[in-house]
Amino acid sequence: MPAALAVVAALVNAVTSVLQRLGVESAPPSAALRLGLLAHAVRRPVWLVGFALMLVEFGLQAIALRFGQLSLVQPLLTTELLFLVAILGTWFHFSIGWREWAGAAAVVAGLGGFFATARPSGGHHLATASTWVVASVVTVACIAGFVVAGTRGPRWWRAASFGAATALTAAYSASLTKATTTYVSEGWGHVFTHAQPYLLGVAGVATVFLLQNALHAGPIAASRTTLITLNPLASIGLGVGLFGDRLASGGTATAAEAASLAVLVAGAAVLARSPLVSGTPGDLASEDELLGTARQRVSP
Protein backbone atom coordinates (compact mmCIF):
# COMPACT_ATOMS: atom_id res chain seq x y z
CA MET A 1 0.00 0.00 0.00
CA PRO A 2 2.72 2.61 0.78
CA ALA A 3 4.25 2.19 -2.67
CA ALA A 4 0.91 2.58 -4.44
CA LEU A 5 0.03 5.68 -2.43
CA ALA A 6 3.43 7.20 -3.21
CA VAL A 7 2.89 6.69 -6.95
CA VAL A 8 -0.58 8.31 -6.80
CA ALA A 9 0.95 11.20 -4.85
CA ALA A 10 3.53 11.59 -7.61
CA LEU A 11 0.73 11.82 -10.20
CA VAL A 12 -1.06 14.52 -8.20
CA ASN A 13 2.20 16.41 -7.76
CA ALA A 14 2.84 16.38 -11.51
CA VAL A 15 -0.47 18.17 -12.09
CA THR A 16 0.34 20.55 -9.22
CA SER A 17 3.67 21.47 -10.82
CA VAL A 18 2.03 22.56 -14.06
CA LEU A 19 -0.68 24.61 -12.34
CA GLN A 20 1.66 26.33 -9.88
CA ARG A 21 4.14 27.21 -12.61
CA LEU A 22 1.29 28.95 -14.44
CA GLY A 23 0.42 30.77 -11.24
CA VAL A 24 3.80 32.43 -10.70
CA GLU A 25 5.28 32.82 -14.17
CA SER A 26 3.85 36.34 -14.60
CA ALA A 27 5.17 37.69 -11.28
CA PRO A 28 7.78 40.49 -11.59
CA PRO A 29 11.45 39.64 -11.00
CA SER A 30 11.50 41.86 -7.91
CA ALA A 31 9.09 39.46 -6.16
CA ALA A 32 11.81 36.85 -5.59
CA LEU A 33 12.26 35.88 -1.93
CA ARG A 34 9.41 38.21 -0.96
CA LEU A 35 5.94 37.50 0.37
CA GLY A 36 4.71 39.44 -2.64
CA LEU A 37 5.39 36.36 -4.74
CA LEU A 38 2.87 34.35 -2.71
CA ALA A 39 0.50 37.33 -2.71
CA HIS A 40 0.68 37.32 -6.50
CA ALA A 41 0.14 33.56 -6.63
CA VAL A 42 -2.94 33.44 -4.40
CA ARG A 43 -4.72 35.86 -6.72
CA ARG A 44 -4.41 33.37 -9.55
CA PRO A 45 -7.20 30.74 -9.56
CA VAL A 46 -4.97 28.25 -11.38
CA TRP A 47 -2.40 28.50 -8.56
CA LEU A 48 -5.11 27.96 -5.92
CA VAL A 49 -6.23 24.79 -7.68
CA GLY A 50 -2.62 23.65 -7.67
CA PHE A 51 -2.35 24.45 -3.97
CA ALA A 52 -5.47 22.40 -3.23
CA LEU A 53 -3.95 19.47 -5.09
CA MET A 54 -0.74 19.98 -3.11
CA LEU A 55 -2.74 19.37 0.07
CA VAL A 56 -4.16 16.19 -1.45
CA GLU A 57 -0.64 15.07 -2.35
CA PHE A 58 0.50 15.77 1.20
CA GLY A 59 -2.28 13.59 2.62
CA LEU A 60 -1.38 10.69 0.32
CA GLN A 61 2.30 11.04 1.14
CA ALA A 62 1.59 11.21 4.89
CA ILE A 63 -0.35 7.94 4.81
CA ALA A 64 2.37 6.28 2.73
CA LEU A 65 5.04 7.45 5.20
CA ARG A 66 3.03 6.23 8.15
CA PHE A 67 3.16 2.66 6.87
CA GLY A 68 6.34 2.67 4.77
CA GLN A 69 9.98 3.59 5.04
CA LEU A 70 11.19 7.06 4.10
CA SER A 71 13.77 5.42 1.84
CA LEU A 72 10.93 3.62 0.02
CA VAL A 73 8.31 6.34 -0.32
CA GLN A 74 10.40 9.35 -1.31
CA PRO A 75 12.35 7.75 -4.21
CA LEU A 76 9.03 6.65 -5.70
CA LEU A 77 7.96 10.29 -5.90
CA THR A 78 10.45 10.73 -8.75
CA THR A 79 7.83 9.00 -10.93
CA GLU A 80 6.26 12.47 -10.97
CA LEU A 81 8.48 13.16 -14.00
CA LEU A 82 6.98 10.21 -15.87
CA PHE A 83 3.49 11.54 -15.23
CA LEU A 84 4.57 15.06 -16.20
CA VAL A 85 5.82 13.79 -19.55
CA ALA A 86 2.54 11.91 -20.06
CA ILE A 87 0.48 15.02 -19.18
CA LEU A 88 2.42 17.28 -21.52
CA GLY A 89 2.38 14.68 -24.26
CA THR A 90 -1.35 13.90 -24.09
CA TRP A 91 -3.04 17.04 -22.79
CA PHE A 92 -0.77 19.57 -24.53
CA HIS A 93 -0.16 17.31 -27.55
CA PHE A 94 3.62 17.54 -27.62
CA SER A 95 5.40 14.63 -29.25
CA ILE A 96 7.47 12.35 -27.01
CA GLY A 97 10.93 11.84 -28.48
CA TRP A 98 13.91 9.60 -27.82
CA ARG A 99 15.15 11.82 -24.99
CA GLU A 100 11.92 11.41 -23.04
CA TRP A 101 11.78 7.67 -23.66
CA ALA A 102 15.41 7.25 -22.61
CA GLY A 103 14.93 9.33 -19.46
CA ALA A 104 11.76 7.47 -18.52
CA ALA A 105 13.45 4.10 -19.07
CA ALA A 106 16.38 5.18 -16.88
CA VAL A 107 14.06 6.32 -14.07
CA VAL A 108 12.17 3.02 -14.13
CA ALA A 109 15.38 0.98 -14.33
CA GLY A 110 17.02 2.98 -11.55
CA LEU A 111 14.06 2.67 -9.22
CA GLY A 112 13.62 -1.02 -9.97
CA GLY A 113 17.32 -1.72 -9.49
CA PHE A 114 17.47 0.21 -6.22
CA PHE A 115 14.46 -1.50 -4.68
CA ALA A 116 15.56 -4.93 -5.92
CA THR A 117 19.05 -4.61 -4.44
CA ALA A 118 18.49 -2.36 -1.40
CA ARG A 119 15.19 -3.90 -0.26
CA PRO A 120 14.37 -1.10 2.26
CA SER A 121 12.95 -2.63 5.42
CA GLY A 122 12.78 -2.42 9.18
CA GLY A 123 13.54 0.82 10.90
CA HIS A 124 11.57 2.54 13.63
CA HIS A 125 8.87 5.20 13.58
CA LEU A 126 10.55 7.62 15.99
CA ALA A 127 14.09 8.90 16.41
CA THR A 128 15.84 10.06 19.56
CA ALA A 129 15.93 13.78 20.43
CA SER A 130 19.69 13.99 19.94
CA THR A 131 19.43 12.41 16.49
CA TRP A 132 16.77 14.94 15.53
CA VAL A 133 18.98 17.82 16.66
CA VAL A 134 21.95 16.65 14.59
CA ALA A 135 19.82 15.94 11.50
CA SER A 136 18.02 19.28 11.81
CA VAL A 137 21.18 21.36 12.19
CA VAL A 138 22.90 19.71 9.23
CA THR A 139 19.82 19.92 7.00
CA VAL A 140 19.00 23.55 7.84
CA ALA A 141 22.63 24.56 7.27
CA CYS A 142 22.60 22.96 3.81
CA ILE A 143 19.26 24.61 2.96
CA ALA A 144 20.58 28.02 4.04
CA GLY A 145 23.67 27.52 1.90
CA PHE A 146 21.58 26.82 -1.20
CA VAL A 147 19.32 29.82 -0.50
CA VAL A 148 22.34 32.12 -0.24
CA ALA A 149 23.70 30.66 -3.47
CA GLY A 150 20.35 31.37 -5.12
CA THR A 151 20.54 35.10 -4.47
CA ARG A 152 23.29 35.70 -7.05
CA GLY A 153 24.50 34.38 -10.37
CA PRO A 154 22.70 33.70 -13.68
CA ARG A 155 19.04 32.70 -13.74
CA TRP A 156 19.71 29.01 -14.31
CA TRP A 157 22.03 28.95 -11.27
CA ARG A 158 19.48 30.71 -9.04
CA ALA A 159 16.73 28.34 -10.15
CA ALA A 160 18.93 25.30 -9.55
CA SER A 161 19.97 26.56 -6.10
CA PHE A 162 16.41 27.23 -5.01
CA GLY A 163 15.41 23.84 -6.41
CA ALA A 164 18.11 22.18 -4.29
CA ALA A 165 16.94 24.09 -1.19
CA THR A 166 13.37 23.00 -1.91
CA ALA A 167 14.48 19.37 -2.31
CA LEU A 168 16.17 19.30 1.10
CA THR A 169 13.27 21.12 2.78
CA ALA A 170 10.79 18.67 1.27
CA ALA A 171 12.87 15.69 2.41
CA TYR A 172 13.08 17.15 5.93
CA SER A 173 9.31 17.78 5.87
CA ALA A 174 8.75 14.14 4.90
CA SER A 175 10.76 12.96 7.92
CA LEU A 176 8.74 15.27 10.19
CA THR A 177 5.53 14.01 8.61
CA LYS A 178 6.48 10.41 9.34
CA ALA A 179 7.12 11.25 13.01
CA THR A 180 3.91 13.27 13.32
CA THR A 181 1.73 10.52 11.85
CA THR A 182 3.18 8.15 14.44
CA TYR A 183 2.18 10.52 17.24
CA VAL A 184 -1.30 10.82 15.74
CA SER A 185 -1.69 7.03 15.74
CA GLU A 186 -0.88 7.02 19.45
CA GLY A 187 -3.57 9.59 20.18
CA TRP A 188 -3.90 13.32 19.63
CA GLY A 189 -2.76 13.94 23.18
CA HIS A 190 0.73 12.89 22.09
CA VAL A 191 0.90 15.15 19.05
CA PHE A 192 1.35 18.64 20.40
CA THR A 193 3.69 17.69 23.23
CA HIS A 194 6.49 17.12 20.70
CA ALA A 195 8.43 19.53 18.51
CA GLN A 196 7.99 17.67 15.22
CA PRO A 197 4.41 18.84 14.43
CA TYR A 198 5.41 22.48 14.95
CA LEU A 199 8.57 22.05 12.90
CA LEU A 200 6.45 20.42 10.19
CA GLY A 201 4.30 23.54 9.97
CA VAL A 202 7.38 25.72 9.55
CA ALA A 203 9.00 23.33 7.07
CA GLY A 204 5.78 23.03 5.08
CA VAL A 205 5.48 26.78 4.63
CA ALA A 206 9.19 26.99 3.79
CA THR A 207 8.80 24.28 1.15
CA VAL A 208 5.93 26.14 -0.56
CA PHE A 209 7.82 29.44 -0.38
CA LEU A 210 11.08 28.02 -1.74
CA LEU A 211 9.26 26.12 -4.48
CA GLN A 212 7.61 29.29 -5.76
CA ASN A 213 11.01 31.02 -5.77
CA ALA A 214 12.54 28.07 -7.62
CA LEU A 215 9.83 28.25 -10.29
CA HIS A 216 10.13 32.02 -10.50
CA ALA A 217 13.93 32.35 -10.43
CA GLY A 218 14.72 30.89 -13.82
CA PRO A 219 14.26 27.99 -16.27
CA ILE A 220 12.08 25.25 -14.88
CA ALA A 221 14.58 22.68 -16.18
CA ALA A 222 17.21 23.88 -13.73
CA SER A 223 14.95 23.90 -10.67
CA ARG A 224 13.21 20.62 -11.49
CA THR A 225 16.52 18.85 -12.08
CA THR A 226 17.94 19.62 -8.65
CA LEU A 227 14.58 19.21 -6.93
CA ILE A 228 13.82 15.80 -8.38
CA THR A 229 17.35 14.38 -8.10
CA LEU A 230 18.34 15.61 -4.63
CA ASN A 231 15.07 14.84 -2.83
CA PRO A 232 15.28 11.02 -2.97
CA LEU A 233 18.98 11.05 -2.07
CA ALA A 234 18.40 13.30 0.95
CA SER A 235 15.36 11.24 1.95
CA ILE A 236 17.32 7.99 1.87
CA GLY A 237 19.98 9.59 4.07
CA LEU A 238 17.38 10.85 6.55
CA GLY A 239 15.58 7.52 6.50
CA VAL A 240 18.74 5.64 7.41
CA GLY A 241 20.08 8.24 9.84
CA LEU A 242 16.85 9.17 11.63
CA PHE A 243 14.64 6.12 11.44
CA GLY A 244 17.15 3.33 11.04
CA ASP A 245 15.86 2.16 7.66
CA ARG A 246 17.80 -0.94 6.72
CA LEU A 247 19.24 -1.32 3.25
CA ALA A 248 21.02 -4.41 1.99
CA SER A 249 24.72 -4.06 2.71
CA GLY A 250 27.87 -5.69 1.44
CA GLY A 251 30.22 -4.94 -1.40
CA THR A 252 28.06 -6.15 -4.27
CA ALA A 253 24.77 -4.87 -2.84
CA THR A 254 26.17 -1.44 -2.01
CA ALA A 255 27.73 -1.08 -5.44
CA ALA A 256 24.47 -2.12 -7.11
CA GLU A 257 22.49 0.36 -4.99
CA ALA A 258 24.87 3.19 -5.87
CA ALA A 259 24.74 2.29 -9.56
CA SER A 260 20.94 2.14 -9.51
CA LEU A 261 20.68 5.53 -7.82
CA ALA A 262 23.10 6.96 -10.38
CA VAL A 263 20.89 5.65 -13.20
CA LEU A 264 17.81 7.06 -11.45
CA VAL A 265 19.40 10.49 -11.00
CA ALA A 266 20.66 10.52 -14.59
CA GLY A 267 17.21 9.60 -15.93
CA ALA A 268 15.53 12.24 -13.78
CA ALA A 269 18.03 14.86 -14.95
CA VAL A 270 17.43 13.93 -18.60
CA LEU A 271 13.66 14.20 -18.16
CA ALA A 272 13.81 17.41 -16.14
CA ARG A 273 15.97 19.08 -18.81
CA SER A 274 13.93 17.78 -21.71
CA PRO A 275 12.31 20.58 -23.77
CA LEU A 276 9.01 18.74 -23.32
CA VAL A 277 9.19 19.07 -19.53
CA SER A 278 11.13 22.29 -19.14
CA GLY A 279 9.96 24.35 -22.06
CA THR A 280 13.55 25.34 -22.86
CA PRO A 281 14.31 26.32 -26.44
CA GLY A 282 14.76 23.23 -28.54
CA ASP A 283 13.00 20.90 -30.89
CA LEU A 284 9.59 21.20 -29.23
CA ALA A 285 8.78 24.70 -27.97
CA SER A 286 10.08 27.60 -25.97
CA GLU A 287 9.00 28.02 -22.36
CA ASP A 288 6.79 30.97 -23.33
CA GLU A 289 5.04 28.88 -25.99
CA LEU A 290 4.56 26.02 -23.55
CA LEU A 291 3.10 28.32 -20.92
CA GLY A 292 0.95 30.04 -23.51
CA THR A 293 -0.51 26.71 -24.57
CA ALA A 294 -1.08 25.78 -20.96
CA ARG A 295 -2.87 29.06 -20.24
CA GLN A 296 -5.22 28.42 -23.14
CA ARG A 297 -5.94 24.93 -21.79
CA VAL A 298 -6.76 26.03 -18.26
CA SER A 299 -8.51 29.33 -19.04
CA PRO A 300 -12.34 29.23 -18.86
CB 86 within 8 A of CB 187: no
* Per-residue pLDDT, 128: 85
pLDDT for 206: 92
Task: Give, in order, the Cα–Cα distances in Å from 2 to each of 62, 74, 165.
Answer: 10, 10, 26
Which pLDDT belongs to residue 281? Answer: 38
pLDDT digits (tens, 9 = 90+) for 51-86: 889 889 889 988 988 888 888 888 888 888 788 778
Q: Environment class of residue 126 by beta-carbon count within 10 Å: exposed (0-12), middle (13-18) or buried (19+)?
A: middle
- Domain layout of the chain by residue ranges: 2-298
CB distance 99 to 257 below 8 Å: no
**How far apart (Å, rounded) are the C-alpha atoms in residues 220 and 279?**
8
Q: What b/e string do you get for 76-104 counting C-beta neighbours within 10 Å, with b at 16 or more?
A: bbbbbbbbbbebbeeebebebeebbeebb
Of the candidates 132, 146, 159, 289, the residue with the CA atom closest to the CA atom of residue 224 = 159
In angstroms, the CA 30 to CA 298 distance is: 26
pLDDT in tens, the chain (300 residues): 788 999 999 899 888 877 777 766 666 665 555 666 667 677 778 778 888 898 898 899 889 888 888 888 888 888 887 887 787 777 766 677 778 888 888 988 988 888 888 888 777 777 788 999 999 999 999 999 999 998 888 888 888 899 999 999 999 999 999 888 888 877 777 778 888 889 999 998 999 889 888 877 777 777 877 888 888 889 989 988 888 888 887 778 889 988 998 998 888 888 877 766 655 433 333 444 444 554 555 454
